[in-house]
Structure 1
């Protein structure tokens, strides 16, 4: 008998207005309310396979199987954060128009979901899956924050947001972040106001505070943070900072991937990213980081002629990840020969900032 499947509130969101949801039976998929433009973006992205690694995988569009459930999904405020789904349907497939993903082939036996009727709620890969205590940064990219459909009032508001923040000066802005201190065993969350108050001069300190939660840079930001203590904490849990070599490896991975994304968007000038973000994720739990690091070293020793099992590769724990997200105002149909220089500037600046973080790490032994 199929286990009952609900939609529950996704509590790891650090920015944005959307009410993101998770399947109650697992954390493999995020359900995100969307407009047609974002759905079209993911569908058009299928024509650019070289870009697929840089965005969450899209498995289609879903909604609850009853009109009552649909109304709950569409409500701006959910009463208890839970939406029940109809389990009378037993198909193993979710349709994305011409694209059909057979989940059981990829995730069996980790994934179990009833068939859901198509609607405009995106069914996306949960890029936080595989992390124990994910540290998350939503970095808004570019200086243009509105599309051609924006009202005059919204255009003025978005222009003001850009010129009064680092969106205009650097082509990027902290939109939200959540960082885990592995010594104090607590999360610190920072809302939009924190990012909006950063300047070209002090944004490097904010980035260092995110990358090194047990540092003077994180301590200096305490007045701007809200804290959530780890309720599952135990006396025998390892309360130690993330080792320097782990952090260095993570930052280098971030830099390498951002360079690849930068190159890709330049090669696709027709790609117009407006209000999109780079989502940074790294493991903040010391024990989980140790385990993942050990696994990575073991995999490095695996002979080239011996392949990993697909399930192990897909579901293994992660040390870090970075993706482009949020495409409600983006599309693949810009009529131009060169990419937006302000967007490219943002990528250049975050690369430079991360390289500066590596230098500070060496100099200050972070």
Structure 2
């Protein structure tokens, strides 16, 4: 514990940029939040069928002891929260980026309603206008943040916030294509919105080629399947009120890492299916690499206590539109050999 401190989490693509990591590993992110978000995760325990769709919650970090205070005190970011613990919690969540070498990240804000019932009149008006002036009100989703890795040029591109805000119904598909195919014309066409971060890797054996078509196709199909599962689960829980929540998309952007993961997946498919549960080849701290992941995140304005018999139709419409958009991405990929 004495060698452990909290450091800034530099992979966040949307929100208030206050996530942190423990310096000793990247398994857990620490998120300052209000009690409502903590309550959401605690209530979610009562809905185990929904657990796979959100990051696992490990509780909170509190300055309850001298050792805890010492840990929190090492982070300048948390200083303000140490003296305000009655209002804010420091939530410990699963880092869903763990297992990726060069994660490509997309944050999509879902639904058209962006404020809860506790918002001030001023904030309600602001959020309503924000929804009306973006794709939120029109198709029930909005691009909030985007970061992709170009494995050919060996650099990250982090797209500015105004890129998502400026997307329209007519060009949101191109934005998804820019995310899914970072070496394509779609990504190059919007480079004026991107801040580039050059890679420092110098090893000669790293493959400088785009992600193979079969990998990308598999990833998009996985995204579609997972979104359909989340959609059905949300419909089955009309009491679940999601306001301002996002879908976080992640896929492996490094060619060498993707090749290794693909090979591992093929080998796993060839294994006998009747293995004993205790015949595990991987320890808890040796998780297999990931090709992609997709989770619901951001529950500062969400809860499980809506008194209704039917889910928010605008939210479901957003999921339907997203599925249609990703299916169009598959068609474009096939037609244009992306």
Q: TM-score, with normalisation over the residues of structure 1?
A: 0.85
1:351 aligns with 2:320: no
**SS of equivalent to 1:311:** coil
1:120 aligns with 2:119: no
**SS of equivalent to 2:230:** helix
Match of 1:362 in 2: 334
Match of 2:238 in 1: 269
Taking the aligned partners of 1:355 and 1:19, their CA distance within structure 2 comes to: 34
**SS of equivalent to 2:6:** strand
Say if 1:259 and 1:351, in contact at 8 Å, map to a contact too: yes
Match of 1:196 in 2: 165
Say if 1:5 and 1:24, in contact at 8 Å, map to a contact too: yes
Farther off after superposition, 298-307 or 158-167: 298-307
**SS of equivalent to 1:66:** helix
Taking the aligned partners of 1:165 and 1:246, their CA distance within structure 2 comes to: 32
1:224 aligns with 2:193: yes
Say if 1:282 and 1:319, in contact at 8 Å, map to a contact too: yes
Structure 1 residues 225 and 71: CA distance shift in structure 2, 3 A: closer
Among candidates 311, 317, 327, match of residue 339 of structure 1: 311
Say if 1:19 and 1:76, in contact at 8 Å, map to a contact too: no
Match of 2:255 in 1: 286
Structure 1 residues 175 and 76: CA distance shift in structure 2, 3 A: farther
Match of 1:96 in 2: none
Taking the aligned partners of 1:57 and 1:208, their CA distance within structure 2 comes to: 29
Match of 1:325 in 2: 297
- Structure 2, unmatched stretches of 5+, are 83-87
Aligned length: 325
- Structure 1, unmatched stretches of 5+, are 78-82, 84-118
Say if 1:18 and 1:33, in contact at 8 Å, map to a contact too: no
Shift of 1:3: 6.4
Match of 1:42 in 2: 41
Structure 1 residues 32 and 360: CA distance shift in structure 2, 3 A: same
**SS of equivalent to 2:261:** helix
Q: CA RMSD in A?
A: 1.9
Q: TM-score, with normalisation over the residues of structure 2?
A: 0.92
Taking the aligned partners of 2:156 and 2:202, their CA distance within structure 1 comes to: 12
Shift of 1:72: 3.9
